[in-house]
Each structure stands twice: as structure tokens, then as C-alpha cells.
Amino acid sequence: MSYITSREIRLISHPNGIPTSANFTLAQTELEPLQDGQVLVHNLYMSVDPYMRGRMNGGKSYVPPFELGQPMTGGAVGAVVESRANQLKPGDAVTSSYGWREYFIAKPQELHPVSRDLQPLSVYLGALGMTGMTAWAGLNLVEVKAGDVIFISGAAGAVGSVAGQLAKLRGCKVIGSAGSLEKVKFLREECGFDIAFDYKSSPVFPVIEQLNLAAPNGIDVYFDNVGGEMLEAALSALRVHGRIIACGGISGYNAEIPQPGPTNLFNMTTKRLTMKGLIVGDWLGHQGEFEQEVGGYFRAGKLKHKETVVTGIDKAVGAFIGLFEGNNIGKMIVKLN
């Protein structure tokens, strides 16, 4: 009986502030022999996502914290290499939450088979995966419709870049903020954003002024991936009865002490705004609908899946930390050997 050796990344201490490589270890483990009803999967790509930062803290949140000394989990797409289950055969591509590792054993019901027709398979971690579904769910959550002026922060990220493209497909005017000129170029030239600005380039012009310039008559919808000054600027620019998708707050994820909220939150009242929190997990019942609509756009060439790829599980921690330095354009993907 042969044993499979797999490498995996374990959290070994809770980060204070920005995570460092010292919070993690790359460990080698031997998988148990395959049992009846199980399959062995080789991960081809794994996902690193900003929301994982919250799971690295000790406290409870909407997802359980990662356990110290254990391999972390997260989205991954892999290929079945051995099967003792009828539902799957070697070569089948599957997504799972068994990320941060090279190989794993699971039951078919823990896996979601995906078509190999779409390439790269990492699209199932991005535009057609959790982050794409988050973007789609956010637009549905506040009923974004043709004619809406929507502002998206973190627009060049995995969620923002899909949200903007989908909003364009719905007939919106789309404005995005991002942290480099390269990202702005990507938003304008590849994602079809009407306006994109680099919030880091002009410290003399605060976000709020850049947003006012981009949307002199205000915005209808704000898709928040960032929090902080982006949220404050959006609260100022939103029109009466505007809507906010409270999706992410990457500007605060590494804060060592809680950060104050926007000083102009009372705009919620004076402008009768609606703010709705979004966790994509609430939308799993709509997965078929998502795959049909957004998969259709992708197949038709109407939706770009942009990714930033690093290769090797030993690069995964660096890729994760890089999310907070804005190193990714589109989805940050770790390709496994």
C-alpha cells in the first residue's frame, strides 16, 4: 500500500496586525490509504482571499477561526487522481474547500464537479467561483439595475473587477477606485469601467474629491470592498435612497486596534440610504442561477477572468500577504505543482 505525501500550510500563531510568514508553517503529511467511497484529489490551484484574515484571529466570526497547528482551508480546484467512489473518476475536475494543501482525500459530496471545457480551471476560484459569485450576489442584494451609477472600491480585485463588468452588462455607469495606474488601466481597458481612478496617486486629492469628479451628480450604489475612507467618500457621494453593499473592509482587516467608522454615517438617515451586509455563503441556494448567468457571460467572451498567479505551495503565504499590499490584479491564484 502506497502512501501519498502532501504538503500543507498550517497556521501556527494568530497574527497581530499584518500577518508574517512566522505565523505559518509549511508541513509535510502522509495521507491515509483511500477507503471505499472516497477519492484522492490533487489540487491544481488554490485560492487566497482577504476574508481569510478574519479566520486567522482567535475569535468567532461568521466562519469558524482556523485552528492553530492544523492545515488551513479555503477554495481549491483539483483533479481526481484515484477514486473509490462511483460518482467520480480519475481526471475529473472538482472544486472544494480543501485549499492550502497539495493532495487530500474526501467524499464526493464534499466536492463540486466542474467542466474542464473552461480554461484555466482557476476560473472556478475567480469569476465563476466564490469571488465572482460574491460580485453577482452583491448586485442582486441591492437590485442594481440599468441606469444606476455604481462606485466600486477595490475595483481591480477579484470581486470588484467582476462586479464592475457585471454592472456594465446590466447597463450601469461604473466607477472604480484602485491602488495603481496599472490597475486603473486594467479597469478602463479590459473591464470596461467608465471611470477609474488611482486613489494612491494623488494624496493631494482625497478620495472624496476624486469620486466627486468622477460622479458630479452622485452615485446610486456603492459596492464596498474596502471600508475606511472609501466608505466615507461613498456616503458623501450617494444620492437620496442610494444603496450600499457592505461586502468587504480590507482597509481594516489588519488593524491591531479597532478603527473608527466614517464620520458621516448619519448620511444613512438624511439620505435614507440602505446598507446591506453580504456574505456569499447565504447565496449558495442560487448557485445554479449564478453559474448559468455568469458562466454564460464567460463562455460568450463577455466577462474577463483576470488573475495574478504565483506558483508553488511555498509561495502561498506570500501571495496571501500580498493581497494586503495590493499585489494582485484580479484574482490572486496559487498554482500548485
CB of 276 to its own copies, least distance (A): 5
CB of 302 to its own copies, least distance (A): 29
Q: Which of residues 23-62 bind its own copies (CB under 8 A)?
A: 54, 61-62
Q: x/- string (CB under 8 A) for its own copies, residues 169-198?
A: ------------------------------
CB atoms within 10 A of CB 205: 14
Nearer to its own copies, 122 or 267 (CB): 267
CB of 275 to its own copies, least distance (A): 4
- DSSP assigned state of 322: H
CB of 51 to its own copies, least distance (A): 9
Chain Cα centroid distance, residue 28: 27
Q: How many residues bind its own copies (CB under 8 A)?
A: 34
Q: x/- string (CB under 8 A) for its own copies, residues 60-79?
A: -xx-----------------
Task: Work out whether 209 is an interface residue with its own copies (CB under 8 A).
Answer: no
User: Could you give the 3-state DSSP secondary structure of residue 123?
Assistant: helix
Q: Which of residues 243-302 bind its own copies (CB under 8 A)?
A: 246-249, 252, 258-279, 282
Give residue 269's identity as a one-letter amino acid code: T
CB of 293 to its own copies, least distance (A): 22
Nearer to its own copies, 214 or 238 (CB): 238
Nearer to its own copies, 183 or 243 (CB): 243
Decide if 104 contacts 8 (C-beta within 8 A): no
Q: How far apart, in Å, are the Cα atoms of 118 and each of 67, 261, 286?
A: 34, 42, 21
User: Could you give the 3-state DSSP secondary structure of residue 25?
Assistant: strand
Nearer to its own copies, 157 or 248 (CB): 248
**List of residues 6+ apart from 204 with CB closer than 8 A:** none
Nearer to its own copies, 10 or 243 (CB): 243
CB of 207 to its own copies, least distance (A): 16
Q: How far apart, in whole angstroms, are the C-alpha atoms of residue 211 and residue 213?
A: 5
Q: How far apart, in Å, are the Cα atoms of 127 and each of 77, 121, 241, 289, 290?
A: 13, 11, 30, 14, 11
Q: How far apart, in whole angstroms, are the C-alpha atoms of residue 309 and residue 329?
A: 10
CB of 217 to its own copies, least distance (A): 15
Q: What are phi and psi of 143, to 5 degrees?
A: 55, 55
CB atoms within 10 A of CB 299: 12
In the complex, the residues that contact its own copies under the rule CB under 8 A are 54, 61-62, 227, 231, 240, 246-249, 252, 258-279, 282
